[in-house]
Amino acid sequence: MTPSATGQLSVVLAGGGSAGHTSPLIATADALRRRDPNVRLTAVGTERGLETRVIPAAGLPLELIPPVPLPRRPTADLFRVPGRLRTAVRRAKQVLAEAEADVVVGFGGYVAMPVYLAARSAKLPIVVHEQNVVPGLANKVAARFADRVAVSFPDTPLRGGEFIGLPVRRGITGLDRAARRAQAARAVGLDPNRPTLLVSGGSLGARSINTAVVGARDELLAGGIQILHVLGLKNIAETDVIIEHASGARYVPVGYVDEMADAYALADLMLCRSGAGTVVETAVIGLPAVFVPLPHGNGEQQRNAAPVIDAGGAKLITDADCTPETVASLVIDLITDAGVLRHMGEAARSVMPADADERLASMIVDANGRTGGSRRSGGEAVG
């Protein structure tokens, strides 16, 4: 790595709001640390996002800037955007100066745009990473002037995008599901020898998935299929209790899973939304999945899932078709056929690179080297 004036490469990583931005940020920071334990890392987020909890927990210093959300419809807030953006860029410039930044890496979201603009003003090298097939506004803008642009999916329409995959932490990419299965099952009171369905709608849960699984629960349990159901913290209720069926199979509802590696290890099949992180994580570890894309927004979740589905590594149920009958029928057909599950796992692995964290770290170092090392090599001062 090219040292700065302090003898350390200083990298500022901007991304927040959801796990879709913070998880690849943390994985990339870990990869940079493995390359050089002395690298100086600074994360930038806003007070509104998940980053206020997960970034410090990952051992990264976090600096906050004001959020600049863009209204989806013309409202009075739209006229406040320019002033808010100027304030956020001013604060971002201060963060870059205090960090003595050599290179800036952005993962999109509200926080990224002000940091990109501040970095451009300072003539700092910029690396962009886009996690979804459908790129966000901040990354679309930054791709026009960034030094390197990385994408998680091969069909992402982003200028200069290089397909590297999504940075995923080594606790997931290095997961030996078979070796960890028994320990993981015991931790939640399940039988490692029974077929296991993992259900999750993401950190917030998914009402349609939850409703369908509860409706299909008795049929699945009667078939000897045990279920770990991650309902979402806001959805778990006193009535959601462990159920033990006469077949011996159990239904275990939880609000949240702190260690998804354990959940992945005990699962034979996952029923879930198709956010970029979930699609990539299940693919790189070879966990067969049934994706139920979020029906709202710009259709990005269905497009995220498409490469794995097309390869034969996953199945699709639309949100409208996510009924107890459909879920029970498809899950039973898949989870009781070991050959089909094995084929799906192998197909999923073939789609997604497992070393995106290292690839992105290399791009960051390369971008810094291309500009002569840092802003101290003739670039405009930050401030």
Structure confidence at residue 1 (pLDDT)? 45
Structure confidence at residue 83 (pLDDT)? 79
pLDDT in tens, 99-146: 999 999 999 888 999 999 999 999 999 999 999 999 988 999 999 999
Structure confidence at residue 2 (pLDDT)? 47
Split at pLDDT 50, 70, 90, the class of 16 is: confident
pLDDT in tens, 70-101: 665 666 665 577 878 899 999 999 999 999 99
Q: How many CB atoms lie within 10 A of CB 131?
A: 31
**In the chain, where does the domain assigned CATH 3.40.50.2000 lie?**
10-170+354-377, 175-349
Q: What CATH superfamily is the domain 175-349?
A: Glycogen Phosphorylase B; (3.40.50.2000)
**More confident: 169 or 69:** 169
Structure confidence at residue 5 (pLDDT)? 52
**DSSP of 225-260:** -EEEEE--TTT--TT---EE-TTS-EEEEES--S-H
**Domain 10-170+354-377, what fold?**
Rossmann fold (3.40.50)
- Positive or negative torsion for Cα 30, 21, 279, 204: positive
Using alpha carbons only, give the angle 63, 68, 71 rounded to the nearest 5 degrees: 155
Structure confidence at residue 84 (pLDDT)? 85
Stated as kind and residue range, the H or E segment containing 334 is: helix 324-335
Structure confidence at residue 17 (pLDDT)? 74
Q: Whole-prediction pTM value?
A: 0.87
- Residue pair 66/88 in contact by the 8 Å Cβ criterion: yes
